Structure 1
């Protein structure tokens, strides 16, 4: 059916595919469509299956041509799809480049589609990259902060006798935005939302405004948000939020003693055991986060010396993934997020995220390119070793866990994770790392949150 095909490279990893379908095939496709409808359509005055083609064309001519055109383009694309190189990205539909394209049965049909492809990468220098490694020391203050967190995590949350909201209380609330007339905006309504007062773990951050309220009380809160407010959809706005206090609970902290240590885990007999565990965990956290910081620094430099264009559809898909993650973090569905923020606000947030999404994608593409160039592979023995470690943690056998992973289709993910670990070690071992500035533990952790 394809009489001619041409491919043209465009900017930002896009391709323009131009296809020509011969006029005989165009006529044949149109006649076939007419014949099919003639046998099935019902029109007053004609028996089913006996509607003349001329009548169909008179009544539905434009619609029939549009459908035939769509069918021809779809079949043409399917015909060439297997032979296309590079192939279109599977999360972005090709776009028709022609405006006002119409079907003419007396002429060849020529049309163009634009689609995104995976970037063509010219990899820069990735061996001998020079970076500075931050120097982090764990202080007594860091250990005490972690111990305090464990104490809070093991607290008892009880109904507060007074029912009066205070800082650090755990409250359950209903809230909804009000419009200028004082009517509820249904899409912003949340019910039974639980958070700890003072954490500001709510989009509107009305923690201070509810202090002093009692159980079952309602309050309309008026809040103005600064232009640099972290939630872009609220930045520079003034909102009225109606809040109802459903429950008020308070935390009863346990004593810092051996009993607390034993409640945390059977492996601890004394408070000193727990403290040592905290120190060891903080040390592990520092090593992991410094390692990630080093990797990011290396990747930044490799990206800077590499050449490739990110397609817009790839960036858009990454930002949608970020949007879904934000919804999960706020214990919402994507639909609830869309309802609260609206399309305009979402678009602004996406724009604010764009540079971060691009950076993440560029790092990923560089990692994959190094994997390919260095031919880094994962052996079956390495997969078995990883599964053996997982089996030991779950107190089961290698055979059982392998069977479980295979049935769930998780083996490819294990291999992918192992490849990432190997390419990370390759880049770090081939980098020139020197001592950098000093940094506190909390600063390091907050930096990578």
Structure 2
């Protein structure tokens, strides 16, 4: 076969390719064997009609479409490989020549991955981040641990304060009617958590256990339930109990509860400082990488095809659905809760999808511009790293990947490009 790629405006072009007359004849034979099974002509059993009689009755042209369906996928794939183009969506294929005994010629209009014009990506400047961990940072972290281990105890005296948890019944009304989702019994509400309508928690501050009250509130204009957005509402509230946090003593016993591998509070402080130091350094490195990626992407010039954005949006939707499933939700439940539909959610994600596509294209351009390489050793190291992360064996992980590491290699190309940006950057 022969194939020719003629680039046109933007990222579109025409791919011309052929199928030899012999291959086309073989495809016509296959098409006839498929079609003749359902052909009935008086004097012949179904499926036993001679080829010449079939063609004289129906014409050889009646076999063309089935023959084209047989040869086109493989011929197109080979033409793509031969010309080295990278299609980003299904082509629009026309038949330029089709005649028994002659080569079959196709012309396909194809949208391909766009070319990236790189701007500055070497010698980029990034601001140095402080990674210092102070004694106060350590104490703040330990205090968070105390908060997490705090017990809620009933407040025998006094009123509701910030940080308390109020156990309440409530029922909400808008336009005099109770609304869906506006009622609960024995609901534990931490004051200051922002769980309910703005103003709800603040209005309970100073109230007493056993008290009943009405709260006059207004839903925000951008409230997720459109039927309530901007509306005034009345909440009937009954306060059953007030609970306050009782923090554990800051001593060696507390330290042991936090980490069974240590014996004293001083050991806990030392270990926390090391952990915070490691985290600060990792965060600083991540910020550096993100800054360099963003700069290189901003400096690059590329026209992003809608097809690539749509593909990325589909990928982001899948990721979002997996996140929801881990929380026991589905996309349909989210749509109902948020008042959005699939298209509205995609529109909300579109800008991020465009950024992702441009970033990926930029990193790929850097990879090829600098002749970087992902080796088999790089792949093995990444598999070992992933196996350790998931608590499995490297060989088992390879089996899970089906022995195909191409997708992993593509991911590592981006990693190689990011490492190049970091190695050739300047800290200021």
Q: TM-score, normalised by structure 2?
A: 0.61
Matched, 1:263 2:257: yes
Q: Please say if residues 123 and 369 of structure 1, whose CA atoms lie closer than 8 Å, have aligned partners that are also in contact.
A: yes
- Distance 1:304-1:209 versus aligned 2 partners, 3 A rule: closer
Structure 1 residue 255 displacement after superposition: 3.0
- Distance 1:259-1:348 versus aligned 2 partners, 3 A rule: same
SS in 2 for 1:121: coil
Report which stretch shifted further, 408-417 or 303-312.
Answer: 408-417
- Distance 1:27-1:376 versus aligned 2 partners, 3 A rule: closer
Matched, 1:426 2:416: no
Q: Pick from 348, 353, 367 the counterpart of residue 363 of structure 2.
A: 367
- Post-superposition Cα deviations, 1:312-335, rounded to whole Å, max 9, x if no partner, equal 222223233333444455522233
- Distance 1:31-1:184 versus aligned 2 partners, 3 A rule: farther
Count residues with an aligned counterpart.
383
RMSD: 6.2
Q: TM-score, normalised by structure 1?
A: 0.59
Matched, 1:380 2:377: yes
The gaps in structure 1 that reach 5 residues or longer are 52-64, 186-192, 435-449
Q: What is the CA–CA distance in structure 1 between the aligned matches of 2:319 and 2:168, rounded to whole Å?
A: 23
- Post-superposition Cα deviations, 1:241-280, rounded to whole Å, max 9, x if no partner, equal 9x9x9xx997664333222221222222222222223322
Q: What is the CA–CA distance in structure 2 between the aligned matches of 1:402 and 1:323, rounded to whole Å?
A: 29
Q: Please say if residues 86 and 118 of structure 1, whose CA atoms lie closer than 8 Å, have aligned partners that are also in contact.
A: no
Paired position in structure 2 for 1:337? 334
Matched, 1:133 2:128: yes
Structure 1 residue 133 displacement after superposition: 2.7
Q: Please say if residues 165 and 188 of structure 2, whose CA atoms lie closer than 8 Å, have aligned partners that are also in contact.
A: no
Q: What is the CA–CA distance in structure 1 between the aligned matches of 2:278 and 2:359, rounded to whole Å?
A: 24
Q: Please say if residues 220 and 240 of structure 1, whose CA atoms lie closer than 8 Å, have aligned partners that are also in contact.
A: no
The gaps in structure 2 that reach 5 residues or longer are 50-61, 182-186
Structure 1 residue 402 displacement after superposition: 3.3
Paired position in structure 1 for 2:397? 405
Matched, 1:296 2:274: no
- Distance 1:386-1:109 versus aligned 2 partners, 3 A rule: closer
Paired position in structure 2 for 1:437? none
Q: Please say if residues 114 and 303 of structure 2, whose CA atoms lie closer than 8 Å, have aligned partners that are also in contact.
A: yes
SS in 2 for 1:266: coil
Paired position in structure 1 for 2:350? 354
- Distance 1:430-1:143 versus aligned 2 partners, 3 A rule: same
* Superposed counterparts of 1:215-226, under 5 Å: 224-226=219-221
Q: What is the CA–CA distance in structure 2 between the aligned matches of 1:318 and 1:70, rounded to whole Å?
A: 34
SS in 1 for 2:355: helix
Q: Please say if residues 198 and 207 of structure 1, whose CA atoms lie closer than 8 Å, have aligned partners that are also in contact.
A: no
Q: What is the CA–CA distance in structure 2 between the aligned matches of 1:39 and 1:150, rounded to whole Å?
A: 76
Q: Which has the larger radius of gyration?
A: 2
Structure 1 residue 423 displacement after superposition: 4.4
Q: Pick from 93, 117, 121 the counterpart of residue 116 of structure 2.
A: 121
Q: What is the CA–CA distance in structure 2 between the aligned matches of 1:75 and 1:169, rounded to whole Å?
A: 70
| Higher relative contact order (Cα pairs below 8 Å, separated by 6+ residues) | 1
Q: Pick from 131, 134, 143 the counterpart of residue 138 of structure 2.
A: 143
* Superposed counterparts of 1:35-434, under 5 Å: 39-40=37-38, 72=68, 75-84=71-80, 85-89=83-87, 93-94=89-90, 96=92, 114-135=109-130, 137-139=132-134, 142-155=137-150, 169=165, 198-200=192-194, 205-206=196-197, 209=200, 224-227=219-222, 237-238=229-230, 253-329=247-323, 331=327, 332-341=329-338, 345-372=341-368, 373-378=370-375, 380=377, 383=380, 387=384, 401-409=393-401, 412=405, 423-434=417-428
- Distance 1:110-1:416 versus aligned 2 partners, 3 A rule: closer
- Distance 1:117-1:432 versus aligned 2 partners, 3 A rule: same
Q: What is the CA–CA distance in structure 2 between the aligned matches of 1:234 and 1:152, rounded to whole Å?
A: 37
Q: Please say if residues 127 and 431 of structure 1, whose CA atoms lie closer than 8 Å, have aligned partners that are also in contact.
A: yes
Q: What is the CA–CA distance in structure 1 between the aligned matches of 2:8 and 2:91, rounded to whole Å?
A: 14
- Distance 1:131-1:252 versus aligned 2 partners, 3 A rule: same
Paired position in structure 1 for 2:58? none
